[in-house]
């Protein structure tokens, strides 16, 4: 991982931690009122708190896994593969920062209301879907790794093509759902699609490890 990528990721991680620590403590009075209420406000603030706290953890985990993969001498990743992985983690980090900021910014409020906020949430989700679709589009363009423990090229081609299709279709579905679904369903659909796609990609990558070329 290049120094610049590490620097940017580190700065974003510090920002995510700061938001997760500071914003809930500043607004705790309003949050506790919402959490003790038996209305939709309770559910809204629960979701906002989860997103606010989970964002730095997701970035830390993704960053560590990406750094480990890029550092590994065997198999040696091609230069486009490194660029693809670094660009992917940077886009994810910026997205996490925006999403966490949006959710933390509304902590303690009793409703989503406001048309401009709804627009922002929908626009952000469309952006996330499109990023996933574009990332999926280029997944199979990455040349296969070389050296010891490199995966079998034939399996690599099949796995990356399949993963790319799944990511692109899921990304497009997320973007379409951001336009078509009611706001209450949006987060659930986004989480289900993103989590199932990530799970599929992880399983596919495990298959690659299980089929070394030598």
Partner 1 sequence: MSAVFKALADPSRRRVLQLLRERPMTAGELAGHFPFAKPTMSAHFAVLREADLVHATKVGGSIVYSLKLSVVEDALLGFAESLGVGVERNSHQAKGETS
Binding flag, residue 137, partner 1 (CB under 8 A): yes
Q: Is 140 in the site for partner 1 (CB under 8 A)?
A: yes
Residue 194 neighbours by CB distance under 10 Å:
16
What is d(CA 78, CA 12) in angstroms, rounded to the nearest whole number?
Answer: 27
Does the protein bind partner 1 through residue 138 (CB under 8 A)?
yes
In the list 24, 75, 136, 151, the residue contacting partner 1 (rule: CB under 8 A) is 136
Q: CB of 177 within 8 A of CB of 146?
A: no
Joined tokens for residue 16: 């995510």
Rounded to a whole number of angstroms, the minimum distance from the CB of residue 167 to partner 1 is 8
Nearer to partner 1, 68 or 141 (CB): 141
Token readout for 156 is 């690599």
Residues in the interface with partner 1 (CB under 8 A) total 16
Q: Which strand (E) or helix (H) includes residue 89?
A: helix 79-105
Q: Please state, in angstroms and rounded to a whole number, the distance separating the CA atoms of residues 110 and 69.
A: 43
Residue selected from 14, 87, 154, 202 as contacting partner 1 according to rule CB under 8 A: 154
Distances (CA, A) of 164 to 111, 115, 137: 37, 35, 6
Q: In the set 144, 170, 173, 174, which binds partner 1 (CB under 8 A)?
A: 144
Binding piece for partner 1, criterion CB under 8 A, among 58-66, 122-130, 133-141, 203-211? 133-141
143 sits near partner 1 (criterion: CB under 8 A): yes
> DSSP E strands: which ranges in 30-187?
none
The span from the CA of 33 to the CA of 28, in Å, is: 8
Based on the shown chain and the rule CB under 8 A, indicate whether residue 165 belongs to the binding site for partner 1. yes
**By the rule CB under 8 A, 164 interacts with partner 1:** yes
| Interface residues toward partner 1, by CB under 8 A | 136-141, 143-144, 153-154, 157-158, 161, 164-165, 168
């Amino acid at each position: 991982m290049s120094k610049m990528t590490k620097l940017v990721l580190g700065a974003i991680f510090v920002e995510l931690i700061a938001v997760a620590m500071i914003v809930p403590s500043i607004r705790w009075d309003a949050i506790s009122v919402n959490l003790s209420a038996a209305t939709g406000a309770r559910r809204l603030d629960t979701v906002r708190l989860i997103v606010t706290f989970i964002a730095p953890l997701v970035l830390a985990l993704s960053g560590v896994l990406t750094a480990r993969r890029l550092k590994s001498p065997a198999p040696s990743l091609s230069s486009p593969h490194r660029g693809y992985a670094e660009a992917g983690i940077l886009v994810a980090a910026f997205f996490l920062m925006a999403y966490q900021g949006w959710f933390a910014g509304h902590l303690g409020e009793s409703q989503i209301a406001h048309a401009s906020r709804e627009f922002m949430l929908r626009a952000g989700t469309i952006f996330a879907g499109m990023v996933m679709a574009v990332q999926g589009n280029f997944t199979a363009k990455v040349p296969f790794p070389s050296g010891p423990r490199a995966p079998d090229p034939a399996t690599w081609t099949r796995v990356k093509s399949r993963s790319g299709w799944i990511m692109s279709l899921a990304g497009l579905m997320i973007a379409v759902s951001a336009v078509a679904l009611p706001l209450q369903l949006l987060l659930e659909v986004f989480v289900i699609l993103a989590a199932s796609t990530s799970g599929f990609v992880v399983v596919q990558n495990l298959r690659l490890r299980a089929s070394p070329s030598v």
